[in-house]
Amino acid sequence: MNIESKNPKFTFIDLFAGIGGFHHALSSLGGECVMACEFDKDCQRVYKSSFPNLPEKQLIGNIRSITRVDIHDENSARTSKEINSLVPDHDILCGGFPCQPFSKSGYQLGVHDKTRGTLFFDIMEIVRAKSPKYIILENVRNLTGPRHKETWKLIIESLRDEGYKVSDEPVILSPHLIPPDKGGSPQVRDRVFILAEHIGKVNPKELTSPPLLKRNQFPKWNPDKWSVTDFLQSDDEIKNIKSYRLSATEKTWLEAWDYFVREIQTDSIPGFPLWAFAFVETPSISDNAPKWERDFLTKNSKFYNEHRDFIDSWKNMTWGANNERVQDFPLSRQKFEWQARKKHPTRKNRTIRDLVLQLRPSGIRVKPPTYLPALVAITQTSILGADIGKLSDYRRLTPIEASRLQRIPDFVFEKAGVPDKVAYRQLGNAVNVGAVQLAFRALASNLIGEIKEPKELSLENLPLFSNLNKIEIAE
């Protein structure tokens, strides 16, 4: 499937394109991609199969083949005139650019030289050559944190030096805080969007704007209304479903902790991490233990003393084919985080079988099946409880389901023929389509006009659905 418009409302280039999140978002709103750039070969494979109408010569492998004569020689920069001839004219420049540390020294000739050697520098070389009307860049939220304060300031200064109006404050969006009819999806994924409009060389004060969107843009929307089940495949839709099932060992760990939450005589399971190895009468705390560790060890000991009889019995029980006790589990599987109080406020019917789980290096974490944690690598892919929806047993999220959380069409990975391991990694790095649509509407709604919406909201058209005509933009 390819959704490029025959009569595009606007054109865009897609830098650091990944598997095409920006492309899916903007083409669904009537745009045409005139150039894409992606370095990773696996991502290129998915991108080409998703957008077969994009000419081969318009998918560039290395952005520095545009900005330099020799991609390995920083001093071989092309002129703006040369770059202009290599890059098609476009209305929108977008991309999920890598965040590299910027130099604090450089040549001290201004913001241009302070970004030299970074990939952001290459973006700005294209910006200088083409002066697109709008720019949309996406990055991890940490870009706006205290450790990157100077980097953020430098990015904003670089854009304003080229005549772009942009906010000092970051636009931070997460799909789970966006209602479904506005492009949201049940996944926590805080990302910063840089939204800039070219207005030319004017008074610097005119280049400052308030943020176009707020993280809590829709305060009346309650993210606890999400239901992951709406985005799931049925068992009979999943090819080779056994590959998504948990191993016997993994189910053993969950069986032990499920018994714990079902049978312990309290309505209130603590929210701090429970450490089975720390269920002791008196905590053993080393002199050099950090404050957080001291705190957890103390709290676990107190909890143990309050429920000693049950916990002692539980620790002596054996689980699985190998008759393991909890203290025989790997250290990370002796750790458990209960984040499901909203689903199970009391002991009645309490279980982990109707929750979403993650087997993290820091422990087993469980939460209600409303919205999911951010997609990451396969080792931490969310696990669906055996009693969620119509599931017949515990299993991991499939790549198709993970695609739906990013509002990327179901077909992309099967069509490209990439293995699940690659698909999970790519989705963990992908930009969320719905968040891009929302950001674009806020920045450049004048380019879009009326969008004909699907008559029904179904999973088939969900990734490209954009019912944003009546969106309220933050002032």
- Angle, helix 308-315 to helix 248-263, in steps of 10 degrees: 160
The Cα–Cα gap between 445 and 97 comes to 23
Exactly one of 33, 43, 94, 99 is catalytic; name it. 99
Length of the chain: 475
Contacts 24+ apart (CB under 8 A), 368-371: 368/224, 368/340, 368/342, 368/343, 369/227, 369/228, 369/229, 369/343, 370/186, 370/223, 370/224, 370/225, 370/226, 370/227, 370/228, 370/342, 371/176, 371/186, 371/187, 371/188, 371/223, 371/226, 371/228
Catalytic residue status for 43:
no
Residue whose pair of structure tokens reads 């929302």 in the numeric block:
438
Q: Which residues are catalytic?
A: 99
